[in-house]
Amino acid sequence: MSDTTSDPFSAAYASTVAAGYTFEGGSIALGALVQGEDANADAQVRLPLAMMNRHGLIAGATGTGKTRTLQGMAEALSDAGVPVFVTDVKGDLSGMALPGEPKGFIDKRAADIGQDWAPRGYPMEFYSIGGAADGVGIPMRTTVTDFGPLLLAKVLGLTDIQESALGLVFHWADTNGLALLDLKDLRAVIQHLTSDEGKAELTSIGGVSSQTAGVLLREIANLQAQGADAFFGEPAYETSDLLRTTPDGRGVISALELPNLVTRPRLFSTFLMWLLADLFADLPEVGDADKPRLVFFFDEAHLLFDDASKEFLTQVTQTVRLIRSKGVGIFFCTQTPKDLPADVLGQLGSRIQHALRAFTPDDATAMKATARTFPNSPYDLEEVLTTMGIGEAVVTVLSDKGAPTPVAWTRLCAPRGLMDPAPAGVIASTIAGSPLSARYGTMLDRESAYELLGARAEKAAAAAQEREAAEEAAAEREREQRDDARSTSRTPSRSRSRARDKSVTEQVLGSAPVRDFARTAGREIGRSILRSVFGVRSR
């Protein structure tokens, strides 16, 4: 869309831009209007602090300077006393902790746009999600209980019935004094409630079917595979620690180190949902403030929304829409606007669009769509978006009156901090010197649902073994008693039998024929012995 009544390279349009970006309240400098080969230092492009909680977008192809724009804005906010949170996906935002190095191209740019550039380091905190596995930094964790069943159901992509079952699990654990600190606690409770004992305990309030429990356990296992075990636990991070300023009034820049984000997007989306939801729950309403309480910058934001569930998109959209009333601003940094859901794009008041590349028909279509989303301007935006240099962008923001500012091809300010990753030693010393290291550095594993249910199961198993042993002992005594009874009943009959046998023998041996036979046999045996001994024939 072009306005042919004005020439974007004319003095008249420069005056229009200068007036459009002059605000009554505080603001941060973005750069100066480009007119031909040079910039017009009299036409400064700025962003009002009061409108930064209306959120924004920093977009552009790889290598066009998006991350340096993010860095420059974060530094300017810190100078204005606004705390900042940035996701450091590539690790090169850590250099803000050190003063930048004077270079010829920086001096030339500063002179061209009228920037009073001087090297400066900024107060920083370095964080990681859960621990060193996700980067070097102070661990950011939360408990399963604090995360809550509703948010967890959205992360797990549960149906309404499954979400209801998960809520029942949380309710039962809370009622029975079982703390859900980490995912193994949650798994233990689900497994218990599907056992015979657990089913009996839920008879009055419902139950959890084995099929639903199986789904919950599988989804939890998938989340654990993304590294969520490191995120859920104690000590839980207090999000109020992000709202810190230094004694000299500068806002602290908190950098979340995310070297493994590409391979673990679900963990990052889980973390983001918790962080924004927690801030929304804790912060009071502020209405229209002179400057935001906190500004988020999410670099490589497309990784948040790739393959995101419908529930996640709904939650992010609602949070982006509502959290501005708490004085929190969110800026998404990505390659093209189409990387973000349309509902999210509709909530963004500021646009900083770096150059795009149209190598394919799809790229050309995306570029045309991007150009059409800007307000009317005298630019041929399809041409401008493909010809801008590194560190240049097409800008439009919300003025302090809430109206879009004139579209301005802008040469952006150079960051004051180091534009390379900080040395590992600097990061390590910054972490070691932080007062938050002692509070969050060591993970705790106190007694919770997993241990309590395990102890209950061991006690039940021991009692069952005792009952089994007692039953076996009783059975053994009963067998012995039966054997003794049978032995006693057999003894008299055997005596009577022997007595009967003896009586019969005596009667036979005592009879006259037997006695006569015995005497005759005895005499014959005697004669035979005498003949054999003396050789005498008997008569």
CA 461 to chain centre: 35
378 DSSP 8-state letter: S
Both 137 and 156 in a single domain? no
CA distance 316 to 92: 26
Count the neighbouring beta carbons within 10 Å of the beta carbon of residue 443: 14
Is residue 427 domain-resident? no
Is residue 159 within 8 A of residue 453, CB to CB? The reply is no
Is residue 59 within 8 A of residue 348, CB to CB? The reply is no
Query: For tokens 């740019």, what's the residue?
Result: 109
Both 268 and 348 in a single domain? yes
Q: How many domains does the chain have?
A: 3
Exposure string (b/e) for 165-204, b if CB count within 10 Å is 16 or more?
bbebbbebbeeeebbbbbbbbbbbbbebbbeeebeeeeee
CA distance 82 to 123: 12
One-letter amino acid at 513 equals P
Both 295 and 331 in a single domain? yes
Q: Determine the pLDDT at residue 65.
A: 94
Is residue 413 within 8 A of residue 88, CB to CB? The reply is no
Is residue 181 within 8 A of residue 233, CB to CB? The reply is yes
pLDDT in tens, the chain (539 residues): 444 447 999 999 999 999 999 999 999 999 999 998 899 999 999 999 999 999 999 999 999 999 999 999 999 999 999 999 999 988 889 999 999 999 999 999 999 999 999 999 999 999 998 765 556 899 999 999 999 998 898 888 888 899 999 999 999 999 999 999 999 999 999 999 888 777 777 766 677 888 999 999 999 998 888 888 888 999 999 999 999 999 999 999 999 988 776 677 777 888 888 898 899 889 999 878 899 999 999 988 887 787 777 777 888 888 888 899 999 999 999 988 888 888 888 889 999 999 998 888 888 888 888 888 899 999 999 999 999 999 999 999 999 999 999 999 999 999 999 999 999 999 999 999 999 999 998 888 889 999 999 888 778 777 778 888 888 888 888 888 888 887 776 555 555 555 555 555 555 555 565 566 556 655 655 555 445 544 444 44
Both 248 and 340 in a single domain? yes
Q: Determine the pLDDT at residue 208.
A: 82
Both 378 and 493 in a single domain? no
**Helices 210-225 and 265-282: crossing angle, nearest 10°?**
100
Token digits for 260? 């493994």
Question: In the 3-class helix/strand/coil scheme, how is 458-492 assigned residue by residue?
Answer: HHHHHHHHHHHHHHHHHHHHHHHHHHHHHHHHHHH
Q: Determine the pLDDT at residue 457.
A: 77
Is residue 437 domain-resident? no
Token digits for 258? 């995310």
CA 426 to chain centre: 27
Quickly list DSSP for 437-460.
HHHHSS-B--S-HHHHHHHHHHHH
Both 127 and 34 in a single domain? yes
Token digits for 251? 């806002």
Both 289 and 394 in a single domain? yes
Phi/psi for 378 (5° steps) reads -80, 0
Is residue 450 domain-resident? no
Is residue 431 domain-resident? no
Quickly list DSSP for 156-195.
HT--HHHHHHHHHHHHHHHHTT----SHHHHHHHHHHHTS
Range of the domain at 512: 460-534
Both 40 and 129 in a single domain? yes
Is residue 480 domain-resident? yes
Nearest to 351 by CA among 92, 78, 66: 66
Both 62 and 194 in a single domain? no
Quickly list DSSP for 2-53.
B-TTS-TTSHHHHHHHHHHT--SS-EEEEEEEEETTEEEEEEEEEEEGGGGG
Token digits for 476? 């053994």
Which of 182, 201, 227 terminates a domain? The answer is 227
Is residue 291 within 8 A of residue 84, CB to CB? The reply is no
CA distance 228 to 222: 9
CA distance 71 to 172: 47
Nearest to 143 by CA among 123, 172, 108, 170: 170
Both 364 and 249 in a single domain? yes
Q: Report angle CA 348, 354, 357 to the nearest 5 degrees.
A: 120
Is residue 539 domain-resident? no
CA distance 484 to 493: 16
Which of 396, 420, 444 terminates a domain? The answer is 420
Is residue 212 within 8 A of residue 162, CB to CB? The reply is yes
Is residue 291 domain-resident? yes
Which of 372, 393, 420 terminates a domain? The answer is 420
Helix and strand totals (H; E) in the chain: 19, 12
CATH number at residue 337: 3.40.50.300
Both 86 and 173 in a single domain? no
Peptide bond into 259 cis (omega under 30): no
Both 198 and 274 in a single domain? no
Is residue 505 domain-resident? yes
Q: How far is CA 99 from CA 94, 226, 413, 430, 477, in A?
A: 11, 36, 15, 15, 87
